[in-house]
Amino acid sequence: MRVLLISSSARGHAIADALTRSSQTPEIISVCPQANPGIKALAAQQHVTNIMDFPSVLRIAAEVKPDFAIIGPDDPIAGGLADELLKLDIPSVAPLKSLAQVESSKGFTRNLLASHAIDASPHFRIFTREQSGGDLDALRKEIHRFIEDDLHASYVVKYDALKGGKGVKVSGDHLEAVADGVEYAIECLEECGRVVIEEKLIGVEFSLLSFVSGDRVVDMPIVQDHKRAFEGDTGPNTGGMGTYTDANHSLPFLTPNDVARAKEINRLTAHALLKECGTPYRGILYGGFIAVKDGIRLIEYNARFGDPEALNILPLLESDFVAICLAIIDGTLNESLVSFAKKATVCKYITPKSYPDAKNEKGQVVTFPKDIPENARIFYGDVSQADDGTLHLGGSRTAGIVGIADTIAKAERIAEELCAKVEGPVRHRKDIGTAKLIERRIEMLRKLRE
Ligand code: AMP
Ligand code: GLY
């Protein structure tokens, strides 16, 4: 069994770790944009190449002839790498380009939900350059009217293509006056021809990732990410500073109805994708949801594992990950193939001290504790290993440290104790997974729903 793993980062390391635990003992062929010491230790080969250079990836794939590929990040999935691999008879755990629009186009997803009567979107409208007939001033007025009158100036403007997580701007956060939203919308229209403008939802966000094979959907434990750089959810947005899951696979602020509805939305969306695109979605469907006053709404879909979400979820997987991948590919996916330990996890990302802004610490040495207890994991991200074995910081997130225990509180202590032992010019968010922060989420939703 040979698996081509196209992914670096801690997410790639967590995937490699799950593959390694399979009874099918797959040989991992890693293809990644930068060497990853964690994946390298588990892989038979590691090829460092630009993963958006498809001919180069395909050359490696043709040479190693894997049984299947797993594609980690959004860009190659959105660009159609799964389609290209399929032409070489290599199936992927990642959707084809047409289906990956569920992540790469916010407008596609809002239209998909609307046309399949899935009531999970906020009030929204899609504006296109074509509809203006060249008259951007008229469109500017129309957008102004929509934001002011229909959305009551509480709005979100979304660039309608991938933009490295920087395409979404929220009023009261990145934008203030209505005119700011209008200007950003026009900027989006000029750059990519389409913009989605929607109502700003107030509530508590969470992620539900599901394994999907056509109309077969099997859910993973629900996770909460912390996107803000600093403690107390302050500072700029990042790729995610840490995450937690609970032993019951729900989260402390969600009701059973909330969980059931999020699961239903993922199921309905998988069906809608099959109908809309005429071909099965095979991969991970990652729903970014928000629990609001009157239920659950969808913020966005991703067509891949989350980072850090995968760092919490995959260590809990008790069943055989290779068997799940094969079942996703051949359409036999079912619940009996997937079981997760009933444990809580807390993941905290170690990052360079000045992350996400400056890159002052790049190249400096970072040292991780040697003794990792059985109930903890360290997954390496943007860190490089010198010939003498020392690890050096990159500019982005360094490593995710995960604690696993019966309760969130115990998992948090395990993660925190290990984080405190990391030496170097680094930091992490101490508050992730703490009772105080979780209480705040519970309280916020309780008040909203009172
Ligand atoms: P995305 O790039 O789609 O992940 O969006 C980034 C972040 O923007 C989300 O995690 C939310 O915090 C926020 N966001 C997106 N859409 C909305 C919305 N309709 N209401 C409130 N916040 C939103
Ligand atoms: N944790 C957010 C993401 O993977 O998109």
Q: How confident is the model over 106-119, as pLDDT tens digits?
A: 999 999 999 999 99
Q: pLDDT tens for residues 353-383?
A: 999 986 789 999 999 999 999 999 999 999 9
Q: pLDDT tens for residues 330-340?
A: 999 999 999 99
CA of 109 to the centre of ligand 1 (A): 14
User: What pLDDT is stored for residue 1 in this prediction?
Assistant: 97
Could you tell me the residue range of the domain that residue 410 belongs to?
A: 204-443
**For 298-316, what is the mean pLDDT?**
98
- Report the distance separating Cα 206 and Cα 278, nearest Å: 29
CA of 140 to the centre of ligand 2 (A): 32
Q: pLDDT tens for residues 312-357?
A: 999 999 999 999 999 999 999 999 999 999 999 999 999 999 999 8
Q: Tokens 């939703």 sit at which residue?
A: 445
CA of 135 to the centre of ligand 2 (A): 37
- Report the distance separating Cα 209 and Cα 245, nearest Å: 12
**For 403-423, what is the mean pLDDT?**
98
Given a cut of 80, is residue 134 above it in pLDDT?
A: no
User: What pLDDT is stored for residue 68 in this prediction?
Assistant: 98
What CATH number should be reported for the domain holding residue 363?
3.30.470.20
Give the angle 158-351-312 at the CA atoms, nearest 5°.
75
Contacts (Cβ under 8 Å, ≥6 apart) of 359: 352, 395
Distance set, CA 148 to CA 106, 139, 154, 186 (Å): 22, 14, 8, 16
* DSSP summary character for residue 149: I
**For 408-418, what is the mean pLDDT?**
98
Which ligand has the minimum distance to the alpha carbon of residue 169? 1
> To the nearest whole number, what is the mean pLDDT of the chain?
96
The pick from 300, 441, 448 for probing ligand 1's pocket by mutation, whose C-beta has the most ligand atoms within 8 angstroms, reads: 300
Instruction: Please name the helix (run of DSSP H) or strand (run of DSSP E) that holds residue 14, with its range, or none.
Output: helix 9-20
Clarify whether residues 343 and 435 are in a common domain: yes
Which ligand has the minimum distance to the alpha carbon of residue 347? 2
Contacts (Cβ under 8 Å, ≥6 apart) of 59: none
Ligand 1 binding site (Cβ under 6 Å of any ligand atom): 122, 156, 165, 168, 170, 198, 200-201, 205, 227, 288, 299-300
Q: pLDDT > 90: what percent of the chain?
A: 92
Distance set, CA 219 to CA 44, 133, 152, 243, 246 (Å): 30, 44, 36, 17, 15
Taking the whole predicted model, whether its pTM rises above 0.85 is answered as: yes
Clarify whether residues 314 and 401 are in a common domain: yes
Residue 264 in domain:
yes
Q: pLDDT > 70: what percent of the chain?
A: 100
Clarify whether residues 183 and 219 are in a common domain: no
Residue nearest to atom 7 of ligand 1 (CA): 168
Q: How many domains does the chain have?
A: 3
Confidence grade of residue 132 (pLDDT, cut at 50, 70, 90): confident
Clarify whether residues 78 and 176 are in a common domain: no
The pick from 152, 299, 448 for probing ligand 1's pocket by mutation, whose C-beta has the most ligand atoms within 8 angstroms, reads: 299
Confidence grade of residue 183 (pLDDT, cut at 50, 70, 90): very high
Confidence grade of residue 192 (pLDDT, cut at 50, 70, 90): confident
Residue nearest to atom 5 of ligand 2 (CA): 306
- Specify the ligand 1 atom closest to the Cα of 297: 19
Residues 213, 215, 216, 221, CA torsion sign: positive
Query: At which of 47, 77, 96 does a domain end?
Result: 96
Given a cut of 80, is residue 165 above it in pLDDT?
A: no
CA of 313 to the centre of ligand 2 (A): 13
Clarify whether residues 285 and 242 are in a common domain: yes
